[in-house]
């Protein structure tokens, strides 16, 4: 089943012209160059920390959002 799906995707779906974009998904993918975040900005984002206390209702509040 995986081989059939993969074959259909590569031979049919990726080559068929889409009605909204007027181009095939494969051509559209090749047009767009990937954008990568600045490594320093990414490093800073993952170093961010905040201490929170779990409420009696088993929730945590962070930046006006409540998480269970």
18-63 pLDDT per residue, tens: 999 999 999 998 888 788 999 999 999 899 888 899 999 999 998 8
Give the span between the Cα atoms of 19 and 13, in whole angstroms.
13
Give the span between the Cα atoms of 22 and 31, in whole angstroms.
13
Of 5, 4, 10, the C-alpha closest to 25 is 10
Q: Are strands 60-62 and 65-67 parallel, antiparallel or unpaired?
A: antiparallel
Between vectors from CA 20 to CA 14 and to CA 25, what angle results, nearest 5°? 15
Beta strands in the chain (DSSP E): 60-62, 65-67
The pTM of this model reads 0.44
What pLDDT score does 59 carry? Answer: 96
What pLDDT score does 34 carry? Answer: 81
What pLDDT score does 27 carry? Answer: 92
């Amino acid at each position: 089943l995986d081989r059939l799906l993969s074959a259909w995707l590569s031979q049919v779906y990726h080559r068929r012209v889409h009605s909204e974009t007027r181009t095939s998904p494969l051509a559209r993918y090749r047009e767009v160059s990937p954008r990568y975040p600045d490594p320093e900005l990414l490093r800073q984002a993952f170093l961010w920390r905040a201490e929170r206390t779990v409420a009696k209702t088993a929730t945590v509040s962070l930046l006006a959002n409540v998480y269970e």
